[in-house]
Amino acid sequence: MMTMEAMIQTLPDQYRWADRLSIPDLPPARSAIVCGMGGSGIGGQVAATIAEGPVFSHKGYGLPAWASSLPDAVVIATSYSGNTEETLSAVEAAREAGLHIVAVAGGGQLSELALAQNWPLVEVPGGLQPRAAFGYLTGAVLRLVQGLELLDDTGLDEAATLTDELIGADLDGPGRHLADDLAEGLAGKITVIAGSGIASVAAYRWKTQINENAKTPAFVATLPEADHNEIEGWSTLGSALRRTVGVVSLRDEAEPERIGRRFEPTTRLLSEGATIVGEVWAQGSSPLARIASLAVIGDLASLRLARDAGVDPVAVDAIQELKRTLGEP
Ligand code: PA5
């Protein structure tokens, strides 16, 4: 099995693979619901954030009650293993509702079903952990959404170039140094990642990478919503507990001025007595490149946190145990 470091180094090529992908013939659709969980679901969140047409991310069993009343909806089911219970249940609900289905999978039951039913299928290369296949999965979903004419420019080419620069040839690029600095401040702490708009999707990626790679709790504070609840939610914690929290803000020059002016007071109120560890600014011009530039710093920081904590970033024993308990292959 490859190390997680080696997997992360393949990210730029994953974006390039998706950029060159030949898209299967797609059903006519005017909206899309992307169904997938965890590392396979984040592509739907990215697509829902950057698409110009109606694209929704669904994470759970079945489909939302409104799914069949969407005009000409297609369900894009994404699962790296192809065996995730919730995603297969969404596919079943889509069949029952008579909706078009398109699959993105690395094998398993989802691939078998798509081949047997003649649904359009994008098969992504296997051998990685699902979360390390971010470029394949997100890229495939974006190309499908583009094929459905719900997104004009995917930004995959720019995301590849920028990620390559940030990671560096031997994982020694400028992104690595920034990530190491942030990881030093976050070591032994619970991370809160603040973000808004495209940066909020990147913050969610940070959270899940810190959870799964570094085996550490992490939470997202989305602005401006957090200003209406979360800033109240820390004040009764004792100062010793608050000192175990580290806050990172993900910023984007394209964020509206009214959002930008919230970061300083929000993080100060969120973290009184805690540590404001730093800010990361998005780079690039396309929305995907800006998300990818923020996300890759989180990937690298999570690897440094894992190394410093002495845990294996690849292993996801708890996730696998739960899936076994529920009878997933
Ligand atoms: O990162 C992980 O391993 C998980 O979040 C999985 O992506 C999630 O459990 C869904 O599995 P799959 O990606 O195989 O559909």
| Together in a domain, 254 and 222 | yes
Give the pLDDT confidence score for residue 260 in this predicted structure. 97
| Together in a domain, 143 and 22 | yes
- Answer whether 57 contacts ligand 1 (Cβ < 6 A): no
| Together in a domain, 126 and 21 | yes
Sheet containing strand 190-195, edge to edge, reads: 218-222, 190-195, 245-251, 275-281
| Together in a domain, 14 and 116 | yes
Q: Which of 35, 205, 319 to mutate to test ligand 1, by most ligand atoms within 8 A of the CB atom? A: 319
Give the pLDDT confidence score for residue 153 in this predicted structure. 97
Residue 121 CA neighbour count, 13 Å, CB half: 21
| Together in a domain, 70 and 197 | no
CA distances from 102 to 76, 177, 181 (A): 5, 40, 42
For the chain, give the longest Cα–Cα distance.
59
Give the structural domain span for 71.
Answer: 4-154
Choosing from 154, 187, 204, the residue where a domain stops is 154
| Together in a domain, 10 and 89 | yes
Provide the annotated active-site residues: 212, 228, 323
Q: How far is the CA of 83 from the centre of ligand 1 (A)?
A: 9
Domain count, the chain: 2
| Together in a domain, 98 and 220 | no
Residues of the chain under the 70 pLDDT cut:
273
Give the pLDDT confidence score for residue 322 in this predicted structure. 93
- Answer whether 106 contacts ligand 1 (Cβ < 6 A): no
- Residue 38 CA: which ligand 1 atom is closest? 5
Q: Which of 37, 61, 89, 328 to mutate to test ligand 1, by most ligand atoms within 8 A of the CB atom? A: 37
- Residue 319 CA: which ligand 1 atom is closest? 9
How far is residue 195's CA from residue 198's CA, in Å, rounded to a whole number? 8
CA distances from 22 to 120, 148, 221 (A): 12, 13, 37
What's the CATH number where 273 sits?
A: 3.40.50.10490
- Answer whether 38 contacts ligand 1 (Cβ < 6 A): yes
| Together in a domain, 280 and 192 | yes
Q: Is residue 326 part of a domain?
A: no
